[in-house]
Amino acid sequence: MPETHRILPSSTVKLLDLPTRSEGFHDDRSTAENEFEKLRDEFINWQPKLYAEGKRKLLIVLQAMDAGGKDSTIRKIFRGVNPQGVTVSSFKAPSHEDLAHDYLWRIHRRVPKQGMIGVFNRSHYEDVLVVRVENLVPEDVWRPRYEQINQFEKMLTDSGTTVLKFFLHISKDEQRERFQARIDNPKKHWKFSAEDLNKRKDWDAYMSAYQEMLAKCSTVDAPWHVIPADQKWYRNLAISRVVVDALRKLSPQYPESDLEDQLQNID
């Protein structure tokens, strides 16, 4: 089941053919939410072992269209996890300092260190998405970045980082409903921007950019998972299955203690 939504390397990706809802994968919300709670409890159990072991790292990358659910995914899945062992990085427009370096400079600085879980809310993939759709740089600049990113992620995995990448796949209708909910609720006005509507006009262009990103950058060591995300309860379950499965495979353990030896040396 952790491989249900994985994109195989060198696959052709057509997002119109990939579901945004749970039908065919899960049909009972109550059962799904119960499973999710159990997986989150297991996640909470694994995380301090990863931190205490201090040898390996886990990087979780979230990409989505606006209102795709990146923030709520982080809130739901990481609820109860010790924040001391988790870093969340949100990548918006690059600063002047960022632009003075290569495009991966600001990303590499936020990669989790040993024992840590890092979460990227947007990521280095903005540099083959936004820059492409909005023509911020010419094609001969952004197109080589697919292979550069693959090599960057290979370097991360070779040095002990498990990379899990999730595209939260929502429908255009669902995005409209979420935008309307933000407009209708004064407490959510801060989450809405007219720029969101401008990007919505470029929906097809973004879908094309995401398709090529998924096809070119889903590798054996750092695969993409296209998560049906119209229903938040299924989105949370599908992502948790992948994350917990990765931690089971890592199977971090608390380091052996030399406490008895230390106590014997106390006068």
Q: Per DSSP, which regions of 51-169 are E strands?
A: 57-64, 86-90, 117-121, 161-169
Which whole number is the average pLDDT over 113-141? Answer: 97
| Whether residue 3 has pLDDT greater than 60 | yes
List the beta bridge partners of residue 57.
161
Give the pTM.
0.94
| Whether residue 191 has pLDDT greater than 90 | no
Do 227 and 235 form a contact (C-beta atoms < 8 A)? yes
* Tens digit of each residue's pLDDT (9 = 90 or more) over 90-112: 999 999 999 999 999 999 999 99
Which whole number is the average pLDDT over 26-30? Answer: 95
**Structural domains of the chain in order of their starting residue, each with its CATH number:** 15-250 (3.40.50.300)
* Tens digit of each residue's pLDDT (9 = 90 or more) over 140-180: 999 999 999 999 999 999 999 999 999 999 999 999 999 99
Percent of the chain at pLDDT exceeding 70: 96
Do 75 and 69 form a contact (C-beta atoms < 8 A)? no
